[in-house]
A and B are shown apart, each in its own frame.
Chain A
C-alpha cells in the first residue's frame, strides 16, 4: 500500500473497523426494534418509532453533542461504563458508537419493511405444525427477512463509513485514534497540499461504497432466486 501514506491508510483501516463493529453491534437491537415496530402494538410505540428515527432528522452535530453529554467521561452513562472498563469518549469505540447511532434508523427501516412483507399466515402455519413462538421466528420469520437484514446491514455499513458530524463532535479527529475516512478527508482539506491525499481517500470511499452496493444486489438476487424456487 505504498500509494497511501501511513496516515491515510490508518484512516481507511480505522473506518473499516468502526463501520464493521457499528454494523455488527447494532444488528440485534436493530432486528428487535424493527420487529417491535412492525408487529407489536404497545403503548409508547410511536415514541420508540420517533427515537429510532431521531438521528435521521436531527443535525448530526446535535446527535454527537448528546452522545458527548451522555457517554463523556463525566456523563451519566459514560461514568457508569468507565467503572466497567468501557470508555467511548475520544476512542475508536466512540466513533463506532456514533456511527451505529447514526446508521440505526436506516437499518431499522430496511429490516422493518421486510418483516412487514412476511405473510403472518406462514407463521401461523408454523405454529400449527408445533413450533413455539421463538422457533417460528428462527425457522420461518428470520430466514424470510434475511434479505432485508442483509440490505439493512450493508446500508448501515455504508452510512457508518461515511459518518462525519456526530463522530467529529463526539470523539474529535485524532489521527490513529478517532480519525476516520471522512474526518481525514476534512483534515487534509484544511492543510495546504493536502488535496492529493483527500482525493485518494475519496476514490477509496467511492470504491468501498460501490462494492457494498454491488454485494447487497448480488445477495438480494441470490436470496430472491432461492425463494422463488428456480
Chain B
C-alpha cells in the first residue's frame, strides 16, 4: 500500500506545501524543527484540517479538499505514536494497550496482543499505570497501543525525541522490528540523522515547508545537498553485510567488495546492516595514505564539493562501497585541489563509527 499525500496549509508567517509518496516500509519525514513535519503528520491524522490537499492510499481516501471528502480522525484507522507518549493516565497499561482494539472493526485478523507485548518486552508492566513507568517504558507501551489498534497506517512523531541516549538505544530496535515485521506503512517524523539512517526505507527531506528531496534512504542521505539539520548532521549511509567478528573486538563488514572494520556490532555474520558514517569523521587524502592508524581507507572519485555558509564544505566521494560524505574546511579542499572527477581516498577511523549509527537493513 502506497500512501500519497499532498498538503497546502498557510500559517501566519509559514506556508506548508508538500507532496510525497510513502511506499510500504518506514517513510521518514526528515527536517529541522519548524520545517513542517508535525503539521504534515497531523493533517494525515486528521488532527489538523489543511487549507487544501489530499491523502489517499489505494483508493482509500483520508481527505480530499477538492472533492470535499474528510474522514474524521477516529475513522482513519491510525496508530499514532506521539512524541510524549500520551498514555491515558487513568487506565492500566493493559487497558491502554486494548483501548484501540475496542473501536477497531471486529472482523479481520488484528494484531495478537501476546506477540506485541512480547516484542516490546512490556509483559511485566500490564497491571501498572502509566504514572509508574519510566519514559522508555511509556514509549514502548505507546508503540504497542498504536499497533494493537489494527491500524492501516502508523504515524510516529519524533517518538524518541524526549528520551535520553540510553533509552533511544533501547527503543530503536523495536522500530526496526516494526519496519521488518509489520506490513502497514509507517510515516515517521525525525530530525535525527542517525535515526533516519537506521530506520528509513524512504526519506522525504523537508525544508521550510517544502519537500526538497525524496527517495530511498541511501540515495537521499548520500546527497550532499540534503543536510536539513545543518552540516553537522550530514552523513552518508552504507549498506553492508557482516563478514565476521574478530577476536580483538572488531567486526568486519563488506560493502561493494570493500572490507571495512568497525567496533563490534550485535548482528550475526551474514546479516545485512546499515552503517551511517558522519561526514565530520571522514578525512580526505589525495595520495595513498601511509602510516595511518585508521583501518578504513576507501579510494574513490570526488562527485561534488558543496561549500556552506561558514568556512566548511561537504565533499561527496563515490567509492566502491557507496557514496561517502566528508566535511572539510574550504581552505583544505582548495589546497588539495578537490573538485569533481578528482581521485582521492576517504579515511574513516574505526572508532568513529558510532553504535547508534549501525542498524539492521
Q: Considering only CB atoms, which chain A residue lies closest to B93 in the complex?
A: A229
* Residue contact B131 to A126, C-beta cutoff 8 Å: no
* Residue contact A227 to B90, C-beta cutoff 8 Å: yes
* Residue contact B90 to A121, C-beta cutoff 8 Å: no
**Chain A's interface: helix, strand, loop or mixed, by majority?**
helix
CB neighbours of A128 from chain B (8 A): 45-47, 73-74, 76, 78-80, 155
Whether B256 sits at the interface, judged by CB under 8 Å, is no
With beta carbons under 8 angstroms apart, the residue of B47, B82, B104, B131 that contacts A130 is: B104
Given A227-B89, A229-B89, A127 contacting B129 (CB threshold 8 A): no
With beta carbons under 8 angstroms apart, the residue of B80, B104, B133 that contacts A125 is: B80
Whether A51 sits at the interface, judged by CB under 8 Å, is no
* Residue contact A226 to B103, C-beta cutoff 8 Å: no
Give chain A nearest CB distance to B285 CB in angstroms: 52
Whether A122 sits at the interface, judged by CB under 8 Å, is yes
CB neighbours of B82 from chain A (8 A): 121, 125
CB neighbours of B77 from chain A (8 A): 130
Q: Considering only CB atoms, which chain A residue lies closest to B149 in the complex?
A: A129
Give chain B nearest CB distance to A56 CB in angstroms: 31
CB neighbours of B70 from chain A (8 A): none
Whether B128 sits at the interface, judged by CB under 8 Å, is yes
- A227→B82 CA distance, assembly (Å): 20
Within 8 A of A (CB), among B62-85: 72-80, 82, 84
Given A122-B88, A140-B88, A229 contacting B128 (CB threshold 8 A): yes
Chain B residues bordering chain A, tally (CB within 8 A): 33
Whether B130 sits at the interface, judged by CB under 8 Å, is yes
Given A132-B74, A229-B132, A230-B132, A126 contacting B99 (CB threshold 8 A): yes
Q: Considering only CB atoms, which chain B residue lies closest to A144 in the complex?
A: B90
Given A130-B77, A130-B104, A144-B89, A228 contacting B72 (CB threshold 8 A): no
Give chain A nearest CB distance to B83 CB in angstroms: 10
* Residue contact B72 to A229, C-beta cutoff 8 Å: no
Whether B235 sits at the interface, judged by CB under 8 Å, is no
C-beta contact mask, B42-55 vs A, less than 8 Å → 1, else 0? Answer: 00011100000000
Given A128-B47, A130-B100, A229-B130, A143 contacting B90 (CB threshold 8 A): yes
Within 8 A of A (CB), among B82-102: 82, 84, 86, 88-90, 99-100, 102
Give chain B nearest CB distance to A149 CB in angstroms: 13
* Residue contact B88 to A229, C-beta cutoff 8 Å: no
CB neighbours of B128 from chain A (8 A): 229
* Residue contact B103 to A229, C-beta cutoff 8 Å: no
C-beta contact mask, A113-151 vs B, less than 8 Å → 1, else 0? Answer: 000000101101111111111011001100110000000
